[in-house]
Structure 1
Amino acid sequence: MTSSPPIVWSIAGLDTAGGAGLSADQRAADALGVHLCPVAAALTAQHSQGVAAVWPVPPDPLQAQLQALAEDMPPSVIKTGLLGSVAAVRLVAQCVDHFRASTPPGQDPHRQLALVVDPVLGASAGGAAFADDDVRQAYRQWLLPRATVLTPNRAEARLLLQQAGGHGGPRDTLPALAAALRTLGARSVVITGGDAPDEVPSPHGQAWCLDWLDTPQAQGWLCAPRLDAPHHHGSGCTFASGVAGAWALGHADADAIVLAHMLTRQALAQGHAAGRGAGPVQARAGFAAGPARGGAPLPWLGLGTDLPWQLSLGTPSASDNPAPPGTPRTPPLFAPFTPPTDGLYGILPDHALLQSALAAGLRCVQLRHKHPASLQALQAQLDASLADAAQAGAQLFVNDHWRAALTLPPRMATEAGFRLGVHLGQEDLQALSPDDRARLLAERDRIMLGLSSHSLWELARAAGCGASLIACGPVQATTTKDMPWQPQGEDNLRWWLAHSPAPVVAIGGLLTPADVRRFAACQPAAVCVVRGLGLNAAAMQAAVPALRSAVKLGRSEIGTTQVHDPDLPHPVL
């Protein structure tokens, strides 16, 4: 027996052309597999070329709709679209307060009931007005303080802040706009850029769509190549409903926004003509199945207020071209990673165990030396590890202490097979100073960059940085680190492989040969083993052959089971 899908209410307008409003919301909900309850807040007379008239639904029939649903089908998310009146805005706010009043003590009221606000203040095709000054003030007073995610385009963001400017204006003003909207109460804000003019100084001539993301989990430019899509009616509704649906499935704000971005992009690609104007977008299931299976590409997320390094410094994107899962679709910005032939990536806490791992035959290793006694001791460990890895012709990644690792003597770089890499967690990546970023990027031709990722937005940021490899984890529960993340499992690991532009390694909780075999069957570039290698040289000599055999057995199982790559990842936070 299958479980019931989560319930989302959409309180929005009825588009007689079937493109935007409740029609688009329904298609987006179906694509995500959530149950949508359409609540009519406004009736419109419109077609593909504009809106002739708008009639807000009076308070009594609107309240009756909400009350009937509340008695039998309470929502996990309420999404708003065209509301059309101050009375409708206040009714929505009262409804949100009603459901959030039952939040258990100490729990997040947004998780009790999320509110996704698409501030529909005008029609892109033009025509009758959707909102006057009183309605906009009601949004500021009643909805923004309760909003879980606010999804305005640039013109709507400025109207909510009582500013002029429309869709134009400098791109670098958007972070301040989003911050101001969060100050008014919205927990997360994404200012969409599909309606904005192209303004990216891309080195390869591609036009890009830029959304500014500001959430408790992540901030930055969410970017994808712009589609030349003549049929775009309902794209804003689709995006907001995508956020609502992904949130209802359990995804955190930033991950829900990434999925909504992919949903909308695919819906734009599948739009069709209906009437003489712009036709409707068509959201459909499978939008996140990966480019090789006809899905949308993963967007790139920038670091801070910078555009993604891969966009500003990289090579032309081929991310729209299907490729087999797990194969790079964009050349990395940093030196390329060569997956080890035995599929093992050993992570060691000090030089002595790293030396033992090399002696046991590992040729892809990482030095994760967290607590050096002193800077002198750290440098001594690094120098010895670099020398041993160079002599063995291994790939060596240095975790955390990358500045000291860049003191590599030039002669070591000529050793046959030896490659130097830096591995950073996302917290370390975000903590880089401007000088650190400049230094790291200046070395990109000679060093590999490995980045950890635990969520969709971290995967998008790692891709945007042009990483040589991306670690997906924890694939199993681990006690090595105290982390808030849910295990990725085989399903999310396969989703990472289908979307990552760089080789993916699996990490976290891989203690036994059985663990290694299980995840090697997903065909990552390598599996990372920490404690499973043993705590001394003798244990390592015994462990490595068994682990190597487990990788070989796992890799041989491709195509022997009926496991399919997932269309959607499961929530991780």
Structure 2
Amino acid sequence: MNKPVIWSIAGLDSGGGAGLSADQRAADAAGVHLCSGAAALTAQNSVAVEAIFPVPPEQLDAQLAALASDLPPAAIKTGLLGGVEQLRVVTRWVDRLREHAPMALVVDPVLRASTGASFTDEALLRAYREELLPRATVATPNRREAARLVGEGSAPEQARALQTLGVASVCITGGDEAGPLAVDWLASPHANGWLALPRRDARNNHGTGCCFATGLAAALARGFVAADAAVLAKMLTTSGLRADAAPGAGAGPVLPSAGFITDASLLPALFETLPAGLPARRTDPPAVEGVYAITDSGAHAARLFGAGVRTVQLRIKRAEGEGAAAWHTRLAGEVQPARDAARRHSATFIVNDHWRAALALGVDFVHLGQEDLLALDATARADLAQARARGLRLGLSSHSLWELARAAAWAPDYVACGPVWPTLTKAMPWRPQGLDNLAWWAAMSPVPVVGIGGVLAPEQLIQIATCGASAGCVVRGLTQLPVREWLDAWRSGAAMPLATRAGWPHPSLPR
């Protein structure tokens, strides 16, 4: 498969740290082909920017025209542009290219060097606000750049202000701030929150903003939506932060590695509120293993426990118009036989969604979809956190990279990855994850992973086991084949070596 093509329209750093040099290193690590459009030349080293020479607009236009005729981009990333006329060359090309095909635009508003030199004036700031940012798919300013564009305020406030200018998604980077965590505020149609990783003691951090924006553009070009692309960009950039000797007297360059994509230590957590720290990776035995049965009948759950299944989830929906009292009575009638059978067989019984009712009925394990998690208000979230502190166990669904990152912030007992194959049990917008994404989840998740979705044959359960998952879910198949066949299939797969190893995941939502 040909590598996706992205363009970087940015400045040439004569010291090799930031600008187009950093963009090339990030593109190589992300596995895309980078075309470089020089908008400005700089006289700089690792200590200071001594001069900036904007490229004449006609020369920048000629560069982009040559590229457009042979190497049209799936995404464009902008960095240092040098002036209003150079910015307008970019906007004209963005509009022309979008007439022929969808194209992402990542705007890294490089307004000031890390050494303190300013790259912009009020006219250029106005052109950013009125002309370039309204065309942006994602903007990636740091906190100081966001303040120059939209004023002081919290990162969420600044992101909202940028979105009012027309920016579709914003990631305000904060890796250069103080504190034990490196956090970035993500605001996108799919997810909002703080992307967090432990801060690295790294002197060589020149070009972090360039790497982040280029990594994000590369992920968009590979088909990921903005929220997933931000997760990948943070992983890529963090992989390049180093503490070894620098080539000059100042900070050395960020050197991202292509191996970032399978380094589990680089998966960030996504928090709704600014965290004080990160949960530790789980090292205790998995809370669920083997065949994970899902049924809508308490009596059926009891029979499954009797047949040797060690984990059963009861998934019951409240009927439209059903009163609270009637609903609770019906749920209690289904929970009781399943709960009692689980206790007799020392097995694991899980209730889907209804965590408060489950607690009241003596159930200590619940599963939540992320839409249910997000629907909780502040009081309910605090109550859920307290219940977990008192021993409530929790499983969470995940369908995308940002949902895995958000699950990591909650430190559940397991994360479900799905749908592995197409499923008819639940309408959803997600593409099938496939065995490749399941293997990536199993390798990268800080907690055990359960494969779910479309399992209709025992052979599929074997494949889930050989991806490294701790359990595989069976729903409709439970009524089509004897339980013994499912149990035998899992034991067979668990005894095999890994057959699918983690590589690049594929997008689970169309961009």
Q: Which residue identity is paired with 1:352?
A: A
Superposition deviation, residue 272 in structure 1: 5.0
Partner of residue 571, structure 1 = 507
The answer on 1:543 being equivalent to 2:487 is no
Q: 1:377 aligns with which of 307, 330, 346?
A: 330
Separation in structure 2 between the aligned mates of residue 31 and residue 402 of structure 1, nearest angstrom? 43
Partner of residue 13, structure 1 = 11
Listed one character per residue, the Cα deviations across residues 48-92 of structure 1 (whole Å, up to 9, x for unaligned) are 001000011111101001111111111110100000100111111
Would you say the 8 A contact 1:463–1:500 is kept in 2?
Answer: yes
Instruction: Structure 1 unaligned segments of length 5 or more: list them.
Output: 104-111, 199-206, 318-328, 410-418
The correspondence of residues 42-121 of structure 1 with structure 2, limited to 5 A, is 42-103=40-101, 112-121=102-111
SS at match of 1:220: strand
Partner of residue 402, structure 1 = 355
The correspondence of residues 334-345 of structure 1 with structure 2, limited to 5 A, is 337-340=286-289, 343-345=290-292
The correspondence of residues 221-232 of structure 1 with structure 2, limited to 5 A, is 221-232=194-205
Q: 1:297 aligns with which of 263, 266, 275?
A: 266
Separation in structure 2 between the aligned mates of residue 351 and residue 233 of structure 1, nearest angstrom? 59
The correspondence of residues 162-561 of structure 1 with structure 2, limited to 5 A, is 163=151, 173-198=154-179, 207-269=180-242, 272-291=245-264, 296-303=265-272, 306-307=273-274, 311=276, 317=280, 329-330=281-282, 337-340=286-289, 343-372=290-319, 374-375=326-327, 376-409=329-362, 420-444=364-388, 445-534=390-479, 542-558=481-497
Superposition deviation, residue 116 in structure 1: 0.3
SS at match of 2:113: coil
Would you say the 8 A contact 2:20–2:36 is kept in 1?
Answer: yes
Q: Which residue identity is paired with 2:103?
A: L
RMSD (CA atoms): 1.7
Separation in structure 2 between the aligned mates of residue 396 and residue 280 of structure 1, nearest angstrom? 52
Superposition deviation, residue 269 in structure 1: 3.2
Separation in structure 2 between the aligned mates of residue 274 and residue 285 of structure 1, nearest angstrom? 22
The answer on 1:27 being equivalent to 2:25 is yes
User: Cα 1:98–1:270, aligned 2, differ >3 Å: closer, same or farther?
Assistant: farther
User: For structure 1, which segment, 440-449 or 29-38, has the greater mean C-alpha deviation from structure 2 after superposition?
Assistant: 440-449
SS at match of 2:94: helix
SS at match of 1:239: helix
Q: Which residue identity is paired with 1:273?
A: A
Superposition deviation, residue 117 in structure 1: 0.4
Partner of residue 144, structure 2 = 155
Listed one character per residue, the Cα deviations across residues 203-248 of structure 1 (whole Å, up to 9, x for unaligned) are xxxx111110100110001111001111110110000000000110
Would you say the 8 A contact 1:337–1:448 is kept in 2?
Answer: no
Separation in structure 2 between the aligned mates of residue 267 and residue 152 of structure 1, nearest angstrom? 19
Superposition deviation, residue 42 in structure 1: 0.2
Would you say the 8 A contact 2:332–2:361 is kept in 1?
Answer: no
Q: Which residue identity is paired with 1:185?
A: G
Would you say the 8 A contact 2:335–2:361 is kept in 1?
Answer: no
Q: Which residue identity is paired with 1:245?
A: A
Percent of aligned pairs with the same amino acid: 52
Partner of residue 136, structure 1 = 125
Listed one character per residue, the Cα deviations across residues 254-302 of structure 1 (whole Å, up to 9, x for unaligned) are 00000000000001137751210001010121111124xxxx4211101
Q: Which residue identity is paired with 2:127?
A: A
User: For structure 1, which segment, 63-72 or 265-274, has the greater mean C-alpha deviation from structure 2 after superposition?
Assistant: 265-274
Separation in structure 1 between the aligned mates of residue 489 and residue 308 of structure 2, nearest angstrom? 15
> TM-score normalized by structure 1?
0.85
Separation in structure 2 between the aligned mates of residue 492 and residue 102 of structure 1, nearest angstrom? 31
> TM-score normalized by structure 2?
0.95
Separation in structure 2 between the aligned mates of residue 28 and residue 434 of structure 1, nearest angstrom? 39
Listed one character per residue, the Cα deviations across residues 190-210 of structure 1 (whole Å, up to 9, x for unaligned) are 000112222xxxxxxxx1111
Superposition deviation, residue 479 in structure 1: 1.3
